[in-house]
Structure 1
Amino acid sequence: MARMLVKGDDLVVRLAWWEKAAGRHRDVRVPLAAVRRVTVEPDWWRALRGTQEHGRCIPGVLCLGSRRHQGGTDFVAVRPGRPVVCLELWPSAPFRLLAVSVRDDAEGRDLAGRLQRSAPEVDASTRWRQPLPVPEETDRRSAGMSLLGPAEPHETRRT
């Protein structure tokens, strides 16, 4: 089973030999500075976003490999019925999310706590993962528009 380890200034997702073969991927290594948020997802299926790009997803057994969505690419190594430690990463990282199953809730909370203490730039403002940005909404916000259209200036007229 995949495991998350801290090695120096890097976070490593170490895969078993058969996971490397099934997921078509070597161990994943990202700098700890790339970790944005750490959460524990009690429902394994909530960690899955997008469609399978590389690897294997066998319903009811495991989902392993990279998944593509509008926000980028995630790397997952999850098993049904187990909690998942989710690491949101800053956009400069090769993945947007790393999701790895753990044996139980206690192990997940312990691992999440250690990773939060190890990563220098963790955003601890919320315990929940943030939703993926929707391209149309992102474009509107950058153009100075709200989701409801252009903002109307508030003028008070006296007649």
Structure 2
Amino acid sequence: MVTLMLDSGHLELVLSGAEKALAFRRRNVSIERSTITRVQLSDDPWTWLRGVRAPGTYIPGTLAIGTWQYAGGKDFALLRKKRPGVVIDLDGHDEFQRLIVGTRHGMALVTALRVDAGDDPTDIVDLASA
């Protein structure tokens, strides 16, 4: 399961070693908070996938992790089975236009983004409950 860390300037998707390998990435996904334009909760985040996997791992209905390229740019997806998730639209990010993340902590993310986080990265669940 992905860990979402938030500080005053960045949201970071902390990927495990296996997730990095499946996504063909060497580093976590880090975005500036200022690039976030919209966060939507979704009961079925699979419907938000667009384009083709390039690179990443895709097993229909089971696993989607990595970069999805489409005519307008790239998205990053991290989905497992039929979990709810969040869709985060970005504007001005140098790599992605959207993040599609399967997590049961979607409401905690929305709440944490409204909180003025400190300078130290903190798990969004801890921020939302503070």
| Distance in 2 separating the partners of 1:118 and 1:53 | 35
| Distance in 2 separating the partners of 1:108 and 1:11 | 13
Q: Is 1:110 the equivalent of 2:108?
A: yes
SS in 2 for 1:91: coil
Q: Which residue of 1 aligns with 2:37?
A: 36
Say which structure is richer in strand: 2
Q: Which residue of 2 aligns with 1:128?
A: none
Q: Structure 2: which 5+ residue stretches go unaligned?
A: 118-130
Shift of the 42–73 alpha-carbon distance from structure 1 to 2, 3 Å rule, reads: same
TM (norm. structure 2) is 0.80
Q: Which residue of 1 aligns with 2:14?
A: 14
1:20 deviates by 0.4
Q: Is 1:84 the equivalent of 2:85?
A: yes
Does the CA-based 8 Å contact 2:45-2:101 persist in structure 1?
A: no
SS in 2 for 1:60: coil
Q: Greater relative contact order (Cα 8 A, min sep 6): structure 1 or 2?
A: 2
1:66 deviates by 0.3
Percent of pairs identical after alignment?
33
Q: Which residue of 1 aligns with 2:97?
A: 96
Q: Is 1:51 the equivalent of 2:52?
A: yes
Letter in structure 1 aligned against 2:112: R
| Distance in 1 separating the partners of 2:71 and 2:112 | 30
- What value does the CA root-mean-square deviation take over the aligned residues? 1.8
Q: Structure 1: which 5+ residue stretches go unaligned?
A: 120-159
The CA deviation string for residues 26-63 of structure 1, in whole angstroms up to 9 with x for no partner, is: 20011111111111111121221111011101123210
TM (norm. structure 1) is 0.67
| Distance in 2 separating the partners of 1:118 and 1:65 | 30
| Distance in 1 separating the partners of 2:109 and 2:115 | 10
Letter in structure 1 aligned against 2:13: V
| Distance in 1 separating the partners of 2:48 and 2:111 | 18
Q: Higher Cα Rg: structure 1 or 2?
A: 1
